[in-house]
Structure 1
Amino acid sequence: MTSIAPAPVKNSIIIPKTNPPVLGVNFNCITKITIMEELKFKTNINCMGCVAKFTPHIQDQEGVESWEVDTTNPDKVLTVKGDISSKEVEALVKEAGFVVREVIAA
């Protein structure tokens, strides 16, 4: 009998079921663990009106677990947590009509 492993998913760890259990853990099925990244960007999202304008572009975006804009920070820092690339976030910001000035190292 041949076993087919699922295709790898970006930023995920696939743990196959094992026999005997690994470290006393009995996996009865394949478990997926997603590694969330935290990305930070300098933007020109200046106020709550800007945040409201940006919200529809990011709120239902696949891979985004949470996001926030610190409008009190002079760099107007957008923080995005989830399984999404910086290029994808940059595209969302630009689509909403805002500027992404720089990616900030986390």
Structure 2
Amino acid sequence: MKLINVTNSHSRLVMQQLESTDAEMVKVYTAGDITVVYTVAPTHYEILLVNEKRAIMKNEVRDIKNYFFKKMPTGTFDPEHFTIIEEPNLVELSIPIL
């Protein structure tokens, strides 16, 4: 699965997130039909997956989670400790910063 950074195409979403949440950085990616919003806040990382056409599969969640876990600075999070909210077309992972 290849993630493509499309943050520049979602400037309104990024600005809204930065203005109305505690987010310090917001990036938007696409992986086929899945839109991924990656957020860094002072106390947590957040990965939001949305697919308006079909349910998100477990292997897609796993692959995207692993992609971002590799990008997060080592020692800033525990890869075994995160909260996940799953709906058919939406998955949210919240990873506390140590």
Higher share of residues assigned helix:
2
Alignment TM class, shorter chain as reference: 0.3 to 0.5
TM-score, normalising length from structure 2?
A: 0.33
The higher relative CO (CA closer than 8 Å, separation ≥ 6) is in 1
Higher share of residues assigned strand:
2
